[in-house]
Amino acid sequence: MTFDVVSFLHDLLSPGTWSLWSLLVAGPLSLACLTYLSSTIRFQTARRQGSSDKRLLQIPLVPYWVPGLFHTVSLLSPTVFLPKVVKKFGTNSPLEVRASWLRFIIVANPEHIKAVFRKTKHMTNKSNTIFALKYLMGLPKDTVRFFRDDDSGLNVTPRKGSTVPDESRIKFLIVHSLLKLLQGVHLEAAGKRYMSTLFRTLDTLHMVPEYQPQLSVDGGWTGFPDLYAFLQRVMMSSTVETIAGSKLLELYPGLVDDLSQFESDVPKFLRLLPRWLMPEAFRVQQRLLEGIKAWHAYGHQHSDCNRLGPDDPEWEPYFGIKLVRRRQQYALKIKEMTADARAAEDLGLLFAATANAVPSTFWLIFQALKDPVLVSRLRDEVSASLRTPPASPESTQGDLESKNELFDTAALLRQPLLQSAYAETLRLFVVAIVSRVAEYSDVDIAGYRVAKDSFLVMYTHLLALDPGEWARAGRTLTKPLEEFDAERFLVEPGWTRPLGKQAPAATTTTPAAVQDVDQDKGQGNSSDHDPLSYDGRRFSMDGLLGLWIPYGGGDHLCPGRHFAKQQILLTFATLITKFDIELAFPSPGAAAGVKPDMSHAPFGALPPLGKVPFRIRRKAT
Ligand code: HEM
């Protein structure tokens, strides 16, 4: 039998077949068009609601084509979808999006974000935390339930109606021990410890096979293939030793390699790839958990985690800084915090302490090395922060940190161009979703009704790259927001932020929330009245609350941010003071081709895509 094209076409185009076609194609197509039309009308109607109305406004639902499916397919690539939706529908109101069973609300207007951050009593970030603990850190199921059941909030006084006993207020215990023990004298001690550990790590780097021979003691250059891997090596081991003590690395010498591998596997874990597709990633995760568990057991045999008094050491080799001892102390009193759960929690801490700080330091150094003028100006500020050596060596006898204290850290952290370059690095390279859930009731966000259980999404890059909002905040854009501008956060003398863009009065502002808002003003850790100036300009974060959010905000604002700033700037300062470093691409224009690895978005700071070769030589002392 031969195939007759003519009769086939005849059949296809005959009236009977047409009705089949219209049923198969035109039917669904018209349904999709009708759905889109009606959802657009509903969207526009919601958008036109009168704000004079006393009732709270309804959040418009982004139009969609396919009922039931909604935006599921587009959401497979959230970093493309979110900017596209916001570009199309604007930021005047929050936007509700549906993707099959999932509903969430995009908040992309800085005023609305401020309002979200103020609702500390009503909003939690539990879903994000639990997601990360469960799928990334391997927290056991029973402990996940225990975390989920904690409805006591972050205030010293538990939320009204919560029956969680004080000793089981896990979220409060975690966040408050971090806030308390990573500030003031504790933060200062951790910074000094980090600095001296970093010096030692750099001095002994040749003991790591990939970094032989020794970083040129003879003044010659040594080339290495990968600046990011180098920073991972030196920053991770210095951070782990500072936070967790030296015994962990002694017991588990492969920890830095495993933690580096684990961090590069984050996108796979958080995209929920099954175990059979990434067996090696799960093996590494398991090794980390077992290694941490063994360290805990060893630590408890040799040290006492109750040593938290003012006369007890800020750091000791078994459990590191007081924060880690405190975490063991409260966790040991909670039955759900089994040895496996404590290992997962501390994997979370080591991850949080390195996963964003290392890539951020990479980009700061990389941007500086690309630009000879910038690096020399940053070096001037670093030199101005060098500590004057003590008059007599005896005055610091016995105190290793003080002897190794090359920088006056407080002075370093106040330098205007350094702070601006640091803030700019985080603006551009931290690509994260900060989320909140209206856990306890409906909430009023800037006049909009956010229904109980709604999931709110604030995407750092939407704000970081929105020229209209930066202009409204009174910032002049010398370079486009897509580019790195080390001076972006410097303002002229006498500059003040435009008035009239204050956040709408919060309906319920707790004292903690007010305090956070003040903190947020200086998330870069600066004072707006800092006498230090750069070319007559000063560093200022004023007016950027809700716009610069790499550390989130409100009472969940990252409690590790002060330590992170120290890590980043101390590492940068040490490397450019003790060494000469240069990028070593074979061709001159190659540096321009170095891009961030977007597969890590929206999970935090982005590592570079590919390797960045460099050469380094120790400076003559
Ligand atoms: C450049 C470095 C860092 C960045 C960009 C960063 C970013 C963030 C962000 C976006 C959040 C969510 C905040 C929110 O929901 O509003 C967060 C939370 C958190 N961060 Fe960081 N972080 C950094 C460094 C650190 C360090 C060094 C530590 C610990 C030593 C740390 C510990 C935490 C913890 C425990 C939370 C959870 C707070 C809560 O649930 O209330 N982070 N961080």
Q: In this structure, are 332 and 432 located in the same domain? A: yes
pLDDT confidence bin for 528, thresholds 50/70/90? very low
pLDDT confidence bin for 48, thresholds 50/70/90? confident
Chain centre to alpha carbon of residue 288: 21
Task: Average the pLDDT over each of 215-224, 307-316, 396-405, 506-515 and give the range with the smallest value.
Answer: 506-515
pLDDT confidence bin for 418, thresholds 50/70/90? very high
Q: Is 158 in the pocket of ligand 1 (CB under 6 A)?
A: no
Q: Is 179 in the pocket of ligand 1 (CB under 6 A)?
A: no
Tell me, what's the pLDDT at 572? 98
Tell me, what's the pLDDT at 400? 57
pLDDT in tens, 55-81: 899 999 999 999 889 999 999 999 999
User: Does the structure show a pLDDT above 80 at 10?
Assistant: no
Complex ipTM value: 0.99
Q: In this structure, are 603 and 495 located in the same domain? A: yes
Q: In this structure, are 99 and 178 located in the same domain? A: no
Report the percent of the chain where pLDDT is more than 90: 78
In a domain, 221, yes or no: no
Q: How far is CA 473 from CA 237, 500, 533, in A?
A: 40, 10, 21
CATH number for the domain harbouring residue 540: 1.10.630.10
Q: SS3 of 257, please?
A: helix
Bigger pLDDT: 534 or 457?
457
Tell me, what's the pLDDT at 529? 47
Q: In this structure, are 102 and 243 located in the same domain? A: no
Classify the phi-psi angles of 241: left when phi > 0, otherwise alpha if psi is within -120 to 50, otherwise beta: alpha
Q: In this structure, are 84 and 179 located in the same domain? A: no
Residues 478-502 have a mean pLDDT of 89
User: Does the structure show a pLDDT above 60 at 520?
Assistant: no
Residue reference for tokens 């405190």: 326
Q: In this structure, are 87 and 234 located in the same domain? A: no
In a domain, 168, yes or no: no
In a domain, 211, yes or no: no
Tokens coding 156: 């010293």
pLDDT in tens, 190-243: 999 999 999 999 988 888 888 876 665 667 899 999 999 999 999 999 999 999
Name the residue of 551, 562, 565, 567 to mutate for ligand 1: max ligand atoms within 8 A of Cβ. 551
Q: Is 560 in the pocket of ligand 1 (CB under 6 A)?
A: yes
Q: Is 315 in the pocket of ligand 1 (CB under 6 A)?
A: no
Tell me, what's the pLDDT at 519? 38
Name the residue of 558, 600, 606 to mutate for ligand 1: max ligand atoms within 8 A of Cβ. 558
Q: Is 549 in the pocket of ligand 1 (CB under 6 A)?
A: no
User: From the CB of residue 426, how many other CB atoms can be counted at a distance below 10 Å?
Assistant: 25
Tell me, what's the pLDDT at 9? 60
Q: In this structure, are 102 and 184 located in the same domain? A: no
Query: Which range marks the domain in which residue 477 is found?
Result: 174-206+227-618
In a domain, 121, yes or no: no
In a domain, 375, yes or no: yes
Q: Is 125 in the pocket of ligand 1 (CB under 6 A)?
A: yes
Taking the centre of ligand 1 as the mean of its atom positions, its distance from the CA of residue 388, in whole angstroms, is 33
Tell me, what's the pLDDT at 159? 93
Q: Are strands 102-106 and 455-459 parallel, antiparallel or unpaired?
A: parallel
In the listed set 66, 89, 106, which residue is the last one of a domain according to the structure? 106
In a domain, 300, yes or no: yes
User: Does the structure show a pLDDT above 80 at 376?
Assistant: yes
Tally of domains within the chain:
2
Residue nearest (by alpha carbon) to ligand 1 atom 13: 552
User: Does the structure show a pLDDT above 80 at 518?
Assistant: no
Q: Is 456 in the pocket of ligand 1 (CB under 6 A)?
A: no
Tell me, what's the pLDDT at 350? 98
pLDDT in tens, 127-136: 899 999 999 9
d(CA 580, CA 575) in angstroms, rounded, equals 8
User: Does the structure show a pLDDT above 70 at 306?
Assistant: yes
Tokens coding 415: 């330098």
Tell me, what's the pLDDT at 397? 46
Q: Is 564 in the pocket of ligand 1 (CB under 6 A)?
A: yes
Q: Is 422 in the pocket of ligand 1 (CB under 6 A)?
A: no
Q: In this structure, are 82 and 183 located in the same domain? A: no
The residue among 321, 335, 330, 325 whose CA lies nearest residue 300 is: 325
User: Does the structure show a pLDDT above 70 at 532?
Assistant: yes
Do you know the residue count of the chain?
621
Taking the centre of ligand 1 as the mean of its atom positions, its distance from the CA of residue 552, in whole angstroms, is 8
614-618 β-sheet, strand order = 222-224, 614-618, 579-583
Tell me, what's the pLDDT at 12? 59
Q: SS3 of 50, please?
A: coil
Tell me, what's the pLDDT at 93? 95
Tell me, what's the pLDDT at 17? 64
Taking the centre of ligand 1 as the mean of its atom positions, its distance from the CA of residue 218, in whole angstroms, is 41
Report the atom number in ligand 1 closest to the C-alpha of 243.
30
Residue nearest (by alpha carbon) to ligand 1 atom 7: 551
H or E element at residue 418: helix 416-429
User: Does the structure show a pLDDT above 90 at 379?
Assistant: yes
User: Does the structure show a pLDDT above 60 at 394?
Assistant: no
In a domain, 383, yes or no: yes
Residue nearest (by alpha carbon) to ligand 1 atom 25: 560
Task: Confirm or deny that 558 is annotated as ligand binding.
Answer: yes
Q: In this structure, are 102 and 196 located in the same domain? A: no
Residues 489-495 have a mean pLDDT of 94
Residues 328-344 have a mean pLDDT of 98
Q: Is 360 in the pocket of ligand 1 (CB under 6 A)?
A: yes
> Terminus-to-terminus CA distance in the chain, angstroms?
91
In a domain, 180, yes or no: yes
Tell me, what's the pLDDT at 25? 76
Tell me, what's the pLDDT at 16? 64
User: Does the structure show a pLDDT above 50 at 302?
Assistant: yes
Taking the centre of ligand 1 as the mean of its atom positions, its distance from the CA of residue 560, in whole angstroms, is 6
Q: In this structure, are 237 and 101 located in the same domain? A: no
Q: In this structure, are 88 and 197 located in the same domain? A: no
Residues 137-165 have a mean pLDDT of 95
Catalogue the long-range contacts made by 296-299 (C-beta closer than 8 Å, 24 or more residues apart). Answer: 296/328, 296/339, 296/342, 296/343, 296/346, 297/339, 298/247, 298/251, 299/245, 299/247, 299/328
Q: SS3 of 117, please?
A: helix
Q: In this structure, are 83 and 200 located in the same domain? A: no
